[in-house]
Structure 1
Amino acid sequence: MLKKAVAVVAAILLLGPMMGLVGIALIANPAANAHCTISGNIMLGEIPDELTVTTAGGVTFTLNKKQLTHAATIIETGAGIDGVGVNGIRIALVAALTESTLRQLANTGTYPASGDYPNDGNGSDHDSLGLFQMRPQAGWGTVAELMDTTYQARAFFGGPDGPNYPSPRGLLDIPGWEQLDPGEAAQAVEVSAYPDRYQDYRPVADSILDALTKPSNGTGAGSSGSEITGETVPETSEVVFPLPEGAWVQTDVFGPRTDPITGEAAFHSGIDLGAPGGTAILAAADGVVTVAEFSGGYGGLIVVEHTVDGQTVATAYGHMWQDGIHVTAGDHVTAGQHIGDVGSSGRSTGNHLHFEVRPGGTNGEAIDPTPWLTDHDATDLLEPSGSSPDQCRGA
């Protein structure tokens, strides 16, 4: 296929301010080991007696049932808060693993009374307490509150209904947290003197999600698309541009930018392609759908996993309205198939497609889609214009 540029189309149709995010169903007490819905088709299953896990740095250790019960409390709490989703829960698990290895720690040296509450041992980091090592002196809560694991999880997630709102900031209070690496997002809440340590626990968090949750097909929330379908995704026949020729204009690029909603510095994990509402979104390659749901700042989100040049890669498509998602998880799609419609849900200021490329699969770290599309001869590729009109930008 030949690479070609297309002319910038005139007048992008606009919608109003961003819509509210769709909530996630509240689930039951994990101690009951009930099989309860978390988000979409993901279920919280029984808590195993132990789980052996390995960090990104190669350290292997075993979590006991009490630690895994604390993880289930974090999952349960996040599932009941609008806008958190699976990725927010993953970030909270990364934070609690790093801070306490999922232990509810007292601190009798600073707060003798903390030892009177149920705990998993004694910590000694300044005046920090609990799963997330929160400090009463920093305003996170009282000793009694912070010795409650559910309270700590609610405080970490934050948001307008969080017990610590508006300060200190929880995850939902961090502008653009959805586009941050999980380790960076955890650090943004914890504000640790050792910010690089969080990323080491990303694979452990995924292992916990796999062990404690399952979609209706029996695979955990940390799994990739090939694991969901139980088969290898065939090599794609081609790679195509995700919007029809002549129907769009690029409005934002991958990388550092000023967030169009908050005005603060942020990192943009994809490219934004402004187009009239309802414009067909096309699968960039043959593959299997791994996500088709509302997901925090992405609004209506579809993720498709492919095999390209023998490697697993996922493409993500954001900001569709609820009725603009035309596929479900587990569907097989072909390159150029109409999978959704352009919208402006989630953290968006107007109709556009937010498009990402994630080497490694559904949970991979996003790269710049533009050279990837160019390298794979995608049609209708527009060289970045550098224009970033606020009316069609978003997460």
Structure 2
Amino acid sequence: MLKKALIGLAALFLLGPSLGILTIAVLMNPAGQAAGTGCLDLPRDDDPGFHDDAPIPDEALPWIATAAQTCQELPSVWIAAVMYQESSFNPAAFATDINGGTWGLLQINQHIWRSVYGPVSSDRNNNGLWDILEPDIHAEYGAIYLCDLLDDIRTTRQTHPEWPSTQELTELEALVVAHNAGPGRLATYPDIPQITRDYLNNIRQRMRDWPDLDHDDTDNADNGTDELDLERPQPHHGAVVFPLPDGTWRLTSPFGWRTDPTNPDSRELHPGVDLAAADGTPIYAIADGHVTRAETTSSGLGIITLIHTIRGDTIASVYMHMWDYGIHVRTGQHVQAGQHIGDVGSSGRSTGPHLHLEIRPGGPTADAVDPMPWLEQHGATHPDSDETADPGHCHPDVGGELPPAPQPFTGTPGGRIPDPTGTGGWVTRQLEHLIAETRRAFPNAGWSCWDQRPGSDSDHPRGRACDVTFGNAIGEHPTDAQRTEGWRMTTWLQTHANALWVDYLIWDGLIWSLNRADEGWRPYDGGGMHNPDDVTGGHHDHVHLSVR
């Protein structure tokens, strides 16, 4: 607990005067309160802190905090584990190698240091010590290098989903291999040097042993500093969750030998379970992991495969029968426990809407086990309980249940249909369908779609965009209730983006787009047409939606 408090304080000192501004922004803008990847530039709040037995000296805590703030993709415990492996937290550590040596906390060679900072002998503060050996400078620019390397790894994994390193390693494990042995080793994995294999196993062990996963979260419950706790764990961290919401499913075909439901004269080994649910029911990732497959096969089967590291073991989870528009992730994408990855459908060889779920310890080609006892043994909770969180939500509580799923658009896109919102203009067929389905779900919203917008690069004159209000006038900030209704609609549209052909949404100073869905809601900069600081330009008074 002491280490948790110290690293939080260290981060506060590192943030300096800007922290007060940031705290005010979080309090005034609830859209930042639950920010996830790519939402707002907030301090990391999904690390669990360090167990008291973790061998991390107090002087290292500010260095870890610096790196975690610089590259918010990296958990503090991962940074600490790598620093310990590389240098035992000795800022002056040096080792010889074929590249001329490695220096400092993260043992960075001169070529990498030059790419992110400058010559290895740089001494910008003129104190007689190379900056690469200054722990705060090294932690900051070392984190920049690791973040850049992680971006490269993600691109490689998307390009090569068939590689064993993509299928069997998490992103952070791949980063360990690339940092230690070079990114080229991801192409040869599992053929890697024994020293790299030992390195990877050491990091895995520390990632299991060092987090303070059992601390009492009530320490800050009443002291008014909850939003400043930079090491507060999020409920989804390390969790295993059930893939469907509670009360929405029933088991229709268990694991094991069965009569083929499409051919009663034959028997087959059923390597998973079938969970019947309404078409469009959300499907959730059972645990943190990454996507190795997300596609509709040539036979018309929708399938998603995720790889997880759970309690040190590699686990593949497989989800089947989603419609093409019901697949919400892409190969190479990182997901978190409870994240909405797809919708129940009835694609492929199926007799009705259901989720076919498989659990394969060891990876996608390993033997399957019965998912139901496996989930129970791993303490799975339902994703709609308070014990899990959807990392894609970068907005306030949407106020209870959302409306039912819409009917998907199945017509021919394009065309010129009279605008049903009364502008006198026209909209495309896909937008006409979205308007009808969304009005059915949110009948009290105000709509205006087609508009000439001369001189602007806008989707409105193309019949592909609408502006929506919730009882407020344009130019007028909505009430809290109206703002919540805006988030209810945008959340619903985001959830069903594929079915409704949504391209992007803008609301409350944030933007979400389908082609960057893994980044969540991002700050809106006006797109070169609007002043984002204005109530209308920042889309605080209306939702903008565009279709493909």
Which structure has the highest helix share of the two?
Answer: 2
Specify the structure having the higher radius of gyration (Cα).
Answer: 2
TM-score by length of 1: 0.39
Relative contact order higher in (CA < 8 Å, ≥ 6 apart):
1
TM-score by length of 2: 0.29
